[in-house]
A and B are shown apart, each in its own frame.
Chain A
């Protein structure tokens, strides 16, 4: 009998346009998320974090790791926005890391994925992977359009849950990662009913972050 996990993936845009304050704020936000989750015993026992980045290529900066063992990564922003490679790596990570229920093994909780992007894809393959994610619905995915250059329509092709973070200030990123933390804690607290046939229930977004209808 293994521990059932609540897998939490953060798929972060680290293209050149994220250089400076945005990437530093993302790094700080991940550290803040880690600290917040250490304050919740259910999250400590069940939440597992992974960080995947995409610039010129995607890479899994941190594989799925329990909260107590998690080390926030040092991220660098440069290059293009290879969104498709990020989605491909997310799907690969699902296939490699997640445990689904069988007759012998109780599976993980449905994963939570937060996608952050401040621009438009520069690759041509992303629609294929977006379609796979929409059709397979392997996770509760929340996409965040950061700033006014983010392409909301692209994110809408990955998930119906798209939120808009108008500003890219440290405060806005802090508020967003508090929202991520609250979502993970809420899911941890209600794991018995997260997927009761209805859409995921997210906590109310903080000021400055709006849900895109």
Chain B
């Protein structure tokens, strides 16, 4: 196409110039249009900053609550509604960055466990709910930690993640024996329950999609600890040993690009993914167990390398910001805080550029481990 044709075509596109308009006329029209395009532009704005808004929608609307009430057991219902009440309330008059989050803390003679799910900046900025959920339970014999990250594209994933962690957590807490079959049975139960909930809510099961990481452990007759783990989707689960080693029982579902999760609960492939990732171990020196959703893992990648310093901060407090973070406030220890759940929510408030997802961390620490964990400083980090 010649320049003249191009100019004529440009004019035609605006419905202004006929096909036989001269090049000079067409150029004049183009210049006028160009000036109009440029003149209409407003000045460049100042870069936007983060805001915090209360969630716009109800966490669990009444009709959904009724639908779920018909499917969940009494204990599952009680946990779900307690979670609803906890995330809907916030302790201060104004909504702040840690509002609408959730935490819990339990302690036995041997172990202390704390879990928290903090609403991310992206969700706070647009007035959305935290879509992560956590579960922790300790009995004298057994410990159970579960975390889940609801899929951002699934409208009811905040309920899906909550239903999944409670279903799996309670099933593992009550299982007769801690075996790989028990973990798979717990996950299968969660999948079935989530599908029943979706049916009752009259929505597609994929609208409840969530990842899941679960670990349970108990002491065996010979004094060692049996651990079973499973994972569907991304996030990270590591075991900390008394000699400082970190082991990673399962590999997350990560692809070539960030955020590439190929299977969620309650997808059809859930059980094949769960079977592939489920492991059982006997560990002689288990000191701590840590589970994180990708909101923490991605900010502290590769997580196994950062797990020792993270654990040290939880035990000793934040005396130096972790390597690679944009900002981290100095703060006292989480485990010895009057309210460890609340302290963990504060710890989850670290800043890392671009990492503004919901953040969930569940951690259990054996009481004998605290004295063996040294305070962390940047010069001694990995």
Contact = CB atoms under 8 A, between A and B. Distances in A.
A21 B6 contact: no
Nearest to A29: B37
A39 B298 CA distance: 25
Nearest to B324: A1
A44 interface: yes
B92 interface: no
Given A104-B302, A110-B257, A46 B44 contact: no
Given A21-B14, A25-B37, A196 B48 contact: no
Interface residues of A, number: 59
A192 B50 contact: no
Most chain A beta carbons < 10 A, residue from B209, B259, B299: B259
A187 B3 CA distance: 39
B33 A195 contact: no
A65 B233 CA distance: 31
Tell me if A's interface is mostly helix, strand, loop or mixed. loop
A213 interface: no
Interface stretch (A84-92, A123-131, A167-175): A167-175
A197 interface: yes
Contacts of A189: 122, 126, 152
A101 B1 contact: no
A170 to B, nearest CB: 5
A183 interface: no
A44 B260 contact: no
Interface in A145-180: 147, 149, 167-170
B26 interface: yes
Contacts of B106: none
Interface stretch (B179-187, B238-246, B352-360, B366-374): B352-360
Contacts of A38: 44-48
B263 interface: yes
Contacts of A35: 41-42, 44-45
Contacts of B354: 3-5, 42, 45-46
B26 A170 contact: no
B9 interface: yes
Given A38-B48, A100-B257, A170 B30 contact: no
A118 B72 CA distance: 56
B255 A101 contact: yes
Interface in A100-114: 100-101, 103-110
A170 B301 contact: no
Interface stretch (A12-20, A56-64, A202-210): A12-20
B294 interface: yes
A121 interface: no
Given A44-B47, A101-B254, A193-B261, A19 B3 contact: yes
Most chain A beta carbons < 10 A, residue from B6, B255, B264: B6
Contacts of A169: 13-15
B261 A196 contact: yes
Nearest to B269: A197
A196 B151 contact: yes
Given A20-B6, A38-B47, A42-B125, 8 more contacts: A21-B10, A21-B13, A42-B356, A67-B47, A189-B122, A191-B357, A192-B152, A196-B264
29 contacts: A1-B299, A18-B6, A19-B10, A19-B30, A20-B11, A20-B27, A20-B33, A20-B34, A21-B30, A22-B10, A24-B30, A35-B41, A45-B353, A46-B354, A77-B6, A78-B3, A101-B258, A168-B10, A169-B13, A189-B152, A190-B152, A190-B153, A191-B258, A192-B357, A193-B152, A193-B261, A195-B255, A195-B259, A196-B260
